Amino acid sequence: DTEVTQTPKHLVMGMTNKKSLKCEQHMGHRAMYWYKQKAKKPPELMFVYSYEKLSINESVPSRFSPECPNSSLLNLHLHALQPEDSALYLCASSQDAVNYGYTFGSGTRLTVV
Amino acid sequence: DAKTTQPTSMDCAEGRAANLPCNHSTISGNEYVYWYRQIHSQGPQYIIHGLKNNETNEMASLIITEDRKSSTLILPHATLRDTAVYYCIVKGYSTLTFGKGTMLLVSP
């Protein structure tokens, strides 16, 4: 298995909702990442997990809450989002957080209404 | 990590070679050059990476100049499905940081 799987592919949520994005990989990678991509912009790093511990938080607002339950799974919990948070959310993984390139999932297209 | 400079956009005729340049004049000795592409609304796809030697795989070739200050990604026979944004990224012992990339449009 050489893929990173993200669910759901599309999500529409209201500003008072709570939802979660899920990411899964079975490549034995020990680093996982969340990126956010606005339209016509490059992906921007949000969080890095290395060996299931949060190692980088790029000053992301607390309405985004990451979780890494085990080495294969990465969640992004969403609460009280704003319309400007609408974007493509990308998950990626790599063998470790330092030395290797990343494998990306196909993303979750999030719309906040 | 060193910054990269890429043209904003390029055109290529289907079946011809696409040569995408990247300048990275401040690259350090331990930094690799990575190329990714992103087809509209999909996740970035790894293409190739290299340190100082030229590299080739089933998708593309990567030519790195001897002084390592620039590189060229070559798609030998471009198809319509190669239309995408191509990102040249210099990466050392840090995270993958995307610049603006080059929008490659392959036309019939």
Instruction: Report pLDDT digits (tens) over A8-37.
Output: 999 999 999 999 999 999 999 999 999 999
Q: DSSP secondary-structure letter at B9?
A: E
pLDDT of residue B41: 84
A2 pLDDT higher than 80? no
How many contacts does A have with B, using Cβ atoms within 8 A?
Answer: 47
pLDDT of residue B47: 97
What is the spatial distance between Cα B31 and Cα B1, in angstroms, rounded to a whole number? Answer: 8
Tally of CA atoms within 13 A in the half-sphere of B48 that contains its CB = 21
Q: With contacts defined as CB-CB under 8 Å, which chain B residues touch A92?
A: 43-44, 96
Query: For residue A9, with 0-12 CB atoms within 10 Å meaning exposed, 13-18 middle and 19 or more buried, which class applies?
Result: exposed
**What does the radius of gyration of chain A's CA atoms come to, in whole angstroms?**
13
| CB-based contact, B44 to chain A, within 8 Å | yes
B107 pLDDT higher than 80? yes
Of A98, A103, A107, the CB nearest to B46: A103
Tokens of B25: 């004049």
Q: With contacts defined as CB-CB under 8 Å, which chain A residues touch B34?
A: 101
3-state helix, strand, coil in chain A (%, to 5): 5, 55, 40
pLDDT of residue A1: 74
